[in-house]
Amino acid sequence: MRALRIAVFVFFAALCNAAAAQPLYGIAMHGDPVLPADFKHFPYVNPNVKKGGRISYGVVGTFDNLNPFILKSMRTTARGMWDPEFGNLIYEPLMQRSRDEPFTLYGLLAQTVEWDESRSYIQFNLNPDAKWSDGQPVTPEDVIFTFQLLRDKGRIPMSSWLDTIGTIEKVGDHGVLIRFNDKANRETPLIIASSLPILPKHATDPDSFERTTLSIPIGSGPYRVKSVDPGQRIIFERNPDYWGKDIPAKVGVDNFDQIVVNYFLQDTTVFESFKKGDIDIYQDGSPAHWQQAYDFPAVTSRAVVKEVFTPKLPSGMLGFVFNARRPIFANKNVRKGLALAFDFEWFNRNLASDAYTRTESYWQNSDLSSFGVPADANELALLGPIKDHIDADVLDGTYKLPVSDGSGRDRSILRKAVNFLKQGGYAIKGERMVDSAGRQLSFEIMTQNADQERIAIAYRRSLALLGIAVTIRTVDDSQYQLRTTNYDYDVIIKSYPSSLSPGIEQVGRWSSGAAKTPGSLNFAGVADPDVDTLINHFLTAKSAEDFRDAVRSFDRILISGYYVVPLYHIAQQWVARRSHIAHPAALPLYGYQLPVWWDASAQ
């Protein structure tokens, strides 16, 4: 009997040891990291680059703040502080996301992590070499302090992400153990690891944290703020003592000694500055401009180089966004009628040199898209009764936006638009589209620049044929940010980028909770329990198949809601650069990455 008890004890002890979490060098949303534990650098960097020189960027807007983590001035914070495009120059997350995999993280401030199969907890084991720019070590106390501060005083979505934490505690000298509550999902640990900064407890005042500030901050990132000219320019200098320059996720990254971000009132001024050589990069999004505007001497002499990159990304969605908080857009039939009225073929032919492809799915050109794909048995089971709320043609894969004759007044399509508007309570009387009380259907499109205004004018032209009165108001950047933060608009033009691993960001864009939260990205004001349910489906999916089908279902319900008038996408990325700004030959999954470029004149 004693021998049996010992055997049972040994068996269960071995079982427990086998089940114990082991430190991991990397984690992925689905499957395992592609790179091995002994990887030396990301595949899309030049590991032998000589650091030095400078790069000068140009952006439209202004800034009055160096704290990107608060609601106040969240959209007028200086670029580069915490920046997915220019790089997280001052602050860093616990783990670094690879741009060559859908959603995989590797060690940064956290050297390794531990979690269980159900992802009910995650433990971050900090790199003992991690330091702040003032030389003090990054500690578990900094992590705990940061997460509590951002939970209580940070802007959304950071504060809502941190609301998923049940308990957080220090483990040993370098560990932080987080246990999640029932608000968390399978993506939550990766969001906590990659999308939240870590702040220095010793250099952050909680009492003044919610105020805007231009004080030079202390961070753990590769750069320090050298100088600030509020609203005009911010200059970053590379920290030669940056603690992480030799870890694999940072080899070949952060190559400029100096990064300058210049602010301009209009995009045309940015381009003129680029032509003069005052800025080094111009990211172009206009086909006509890309084809016609580069006839200046620097291009002829090859001092300026035009390049085309082709990432392997879904299309995303660019379109006119109806603010469904407004009563006139609360009815789906009205939104659908208005959406059908846009004559894409006329616009593309007359104003875009036929350069664009119409977007018909939020994940077009990927396996996650529902476009042209009928819902299979597995997806229908995931949808359950929600399938009855999705348009039949969207559900069976036959949905397609109407293709006009390009005349700008295709009568068959306009008749369809009128029929849906009629179902929404409107009719044409005396050449005016009016409701039952005789009020004309009218609204304002708020635009940011000349390119958006041109698209809006084309849309207004089509709607005028239906007796709909549309005004267009182009506002400056500060007014635009204020009005969008408070949802003070009828219609705006917005882009919804899509990744191969959609997740918690969709909560901020489309959930009922976000619709009521000032400063969220739910610009359409969508508050639909079906949408909330389908978001939860892909956040909790365990298998790759369930995840794919859950995203397709979500795509279908957004398409069926007609919250956005789909415009177009370009499969390529267009960039003009000064010839001394160089980049690696390898292009990652997500397209070009500015933080891995370098100044060849410094070699």
pLDDT tens readout for residues 284-343: 988 888 989 999 999 999 999 999 999 999 999 999 999 999 999 999 999 999 999 999
- Residue-wise pLDDT tens digits, 162-212: 999 999 999 999 999 999 999 999 999 999 999 999 999 999 999 999 999
Percent of the chain with pLDDT over 90: 87
Average pLDDT over all residues of the chain: 94
For residues 205 and 339, give the distance between their C-alpha atoms in angstroms, rounded to a whole number.
49
**Nearest residue to 238 via CA among 600, 598, 593:** 598
Per-residue model confidence as pLDDT tens digits over 554-570: 999 999 999 999 999 88
Q: Summarize pLDDT for 96-150 with one digit per residue, the tens.
A: 999 999 999 999 999 999 999 999 999 999 999 999 999 999 999 999 999 999 9
Q: Give the pLDDT of residue 573.
A: 94
For the chain, where do the domains classified as CATH 3.40.190.10 start and end? 223-312+572-602
Q: What is the mean pLDDT of residues 497-514?
A: 93
Residue 403 near residue 345 (C-beta atoms within 8 A): yes
Tell me which amino acid residue 307 is.
E
Q: List Cα–Cα distances, 278 to 55, 258, 319, in angstroms.
A: 10, 14, 32
Q: Please, which pLDDT band fits residue 478 given cuts at 50, 70 and 90?
A: confident
Residue 18: pLDDT above 50?
A: no
pLDDT above 50: residue 453: yes
Residue 88 clears pLDDT 60, i.e. is over it: yes
- Does residue 5 carry a pLDDT above 70? no
Backbone angles phi, psi at 122, to 5 degrees: -145, 140
Q: Where in the chain is the domain with CATH 3.10.105.10?
A: 317-569
Q: Give Cβ neighbours of residue 474 (< 8 Å, ≥ 6 apart).
A: 446, 447, 448, 449, 450, 452, 453
CA distance 83 to 104: 18
Question: What band does 20 get if pLDDT is binned at 50, 70 and 90?
Answer: low
Is this prediction's pTM over 0.75? Answer: yes
- pLDDT bin (cut points 50, 70, 90) of residue 589 is very high
Nearest-angstrom CA–CA distance, 272 and 354: 26
CATH 3.10.105.10 corresponds to the domain 317-569: yes
Q: Which amino acid is at 530?
A: D
Confidence at 76, pLDDT banded by 50, 70, 90? confident
Residue 262 has pLDDT above 50, yes or no: yes
Number of Cβ within a 10 Å radius of residue 38: 7
- What is the reported pLDDT for 496? 95
Q: Are strands 564-566 and 317-322 parallel, antiparallel or unpaired?
A: antiparallel
User: Hey, which residues does 236 pair with through a beta bridge?
Assistant: 225, 259
Helix (H) or strand (E) holding 170: strand 165-171
CATH no. of 223-312+572-602:
3.40.190.10
Question: pLDDT of 365-379, one tens digit each?
Answer: 999 999 999 999 999
Task: Say which amino acid occupies 383.
Answer: L
pLDDT for residue 74 = 67
| Residue 463 confidence (pLDDT) above 50 | yes
Residue 333's Cβ-count burial label (10 Å; 0-12, 13-18, 19+) is: middle
**pLDDT > 70 in the chain, percent:** 96
Q: Is the per-residue pLDDT at 155 higher than 50?
A: yes
Q: Say how far apart CA 123 and CA 168 lie, in whole Å.
A: 9
- Average pLDDT (24-35) is 95
Burial class (CB in 10 A: 0-12, 13-18, 19+), 424: buried
Q: Report the 10 Å Cβ neighbour count for 503.
A: 21
pLDDT in tens, 512-541: 999 999 889 999 999 999 999 999 999 999
Question: What average pLDDT does the segment 458-472 reach?
Answer: 97
